[in-house]
Amino acid sequence: MAAEDRRAFFREVVALAPMATGGNLPYRRLCKEFGAALTCSEMVLADKLVKGGERPLLRSHPSEDRFGIQFTGKHEDVMAEAARIAVANGARFIDLNFGCPIDLVVRRGGGAALLKKPARLARLVEAVRQAVDVPLSVKIRIGYSVEKLNCVEVATAAVAAGADAIGVHGRTRAQRYRLSARWDLVDQVQQAVGVPVLGNGDILTPWDLARRRRETAVRSFLVARGALIKPWIFRELAAGEPWNPTTAERWAVMRRWCDFALEHFGDDAKGLARVERFFLWHLGFWHRWRPYTEADFRAQLPDSLIQARSEPVDGDGDAALLASGNEDDHRLIFGRVLDRDYPAV
Ligand SMILES: Cc1cc2nc3c(=O)[nH]c(=O)nc-3n(C[C@H](O)[C@H](O)[C@H](O)COP(=O)(O)O)c2cc1C
C-alpha cells in the first residue's frame, strides 16, 4: 500500500477510540451500525501475543470493514512479530499504544513510559513499519506529565519513523481524566506533522466536534467515553445535532447489544454469564445519559459533560429506571432486556 493511501485511510474520520472492556466486539458492532468509521481492538500486550496469548482480542465482526488491532510493547522484534500476527488475523490497520497509563505497563517501561523516550519510541514504530504494509497509527498523550509536554517532539519522531497517523489524547499520563483535554496542544501536533492527527478528548456532543473543527486544524477524531454513554453519538456527530431517543428506543438499543453479545459469547450458561457481566459494566455508562439541548451545552462551556445534568428524565416510568445508578436496578434492567419485557418502539 502506498504511503499516501495509508495516510488517506485516517483522513476525515470519526472513529471509536480503542478501549479495554468497552471495545468488546458486540459493542464495536453497535457503534459501527451508528456510523463509527474505524473500530479498534481492546489493547493487546505484544509480549503475550507473540507467545500465543491474547487471541480472543483479535477477533472482529465482518461489519467492521476498517478494523484495527492495538498493541503495546517495548521490544522491536516483539513489536514487529506482533504486527505480523495482527495483520494475519485481519487487522486492516495497526495502532500502537504509547498513551497507556496503567501502572503495571508503565513500570515495565511500556505504554506511556515511552513518551519519555522519543528516540526509543521511534525505533519501535520503525520496526512495525518495516514488518507490515497496513496503515499504522500511533496513539500518544500530550506528555508524560505537565512538566514534559513533548507531544510535538514525540509525534514528529513517530512520523519520521513511518507512522501514517497520530492519535493524540489531550491529557498527560499523570492527570488521568482530571481537567479538560488540551486541544491547543493537539492542534500544535497537527500543525507540525504532515499526516492526519486523530484528535481525542471530551468529544461528547456535536457542538464539541464543531468547536474542535472550527478552532483547530484537526480533521479526524477518536471518541471513547461519549460512545460508552451513548453508542449513537456517531449518528449525532454525523448529523450535527443531538438524537434524544425515547425510552423505547433505548431499550431497543440495549437489546441490540444483547443480541450481538449472545451471538458472540454464546447463549449457554457460560456465555450468558459473560453477557450479563459486560451488560452491567455498560450500564455503568449508559445510565448516565440524559437528553440535552444546545442550551444545556452552552450553559456548561467550556466543559460539556452531559452526565453533569442530574435531573430525572421525563416520560414514562422507565426513564427513571434507565437513569438509575443502583446495581439492583441494573440487574432488573438486564432481566427485562433478556425477556424482551419492554415497550416496542
Ligand atoms: C473504559 C476505557 C478503556 C480504555 N482503554 C484504552 C485502551 O485499551 N487503549 C487506549 O489507547 N486507550 C484506552 N482508553 C482511552 C481512550 O481511548 C481515550 O483516549 C480517552 O478515554 C479520552 O477520550 P474521551 O474523552 O473521548 O473519553 C480507554 C478509555 C476508557 C474510558
Which ligand 1 atom minimizes the distance to the CA of 222?
26
Q: Is 100 a catalytic residue?
A: yes
Q: What is the pLDDT of residue 340?
A: 97
Confidence of residue 315 (pLDDT cuts 50, 70, 90): low
226 lines ligand 1 (CB under 6 A): yes
Mean pLDDT of 21-45: 98
Q: Please give the mean pLDDT across all residues of the chain.
A: 94
Pocket test for ligand 1, best of 14, 16, 19 (most atoms within 8 A of CB): 19
The CATH class of 3-239 is alpha beta
Residue whose CA lies nearest to ligand 1 atom number 19: 169
Which residues, 6+ apart, have CB-to-CB distance to 99 below 8 Å?
Answer: 111, 112, 115, 139, 140, 141, 167, 169, 173
Give 69-99 pLDDT, tens digit per residue: 999 999 999 999 999 999 999 999 999 999 9
**Mean local confidence (pLDDT), 168-177:** 88
pLDDT the model gives residue 314: 58
Sequence ranges of the domains in the chain: 3-239, 247-338
Q: Is 139 in the pocket of ligand 1 (CB under 6 A)?
A: yes
* The pLDDT value given to residue 179: 82
- Distances from the Cα of 207 to the Cαs of 46, 201, 303, in angstroms? 37, 14, 11
Question: Confidence band (pLDDT; 50, 70, 90) for 296?
Answer: confident
Q: Is 282 helix (H, G, I), strand (E, B) or coil?
A: helix
Ligand 1 contact, 208 CB (< 6 A): no
Question: Quick one: pLDDT at residue 308?
Answer: 45
Annotate 111-147 with b (16+ C-beta within 10 A) or e (fewer).
bbbbbbbbeebbebbbbbbebbebbbbbbbbbbbeee
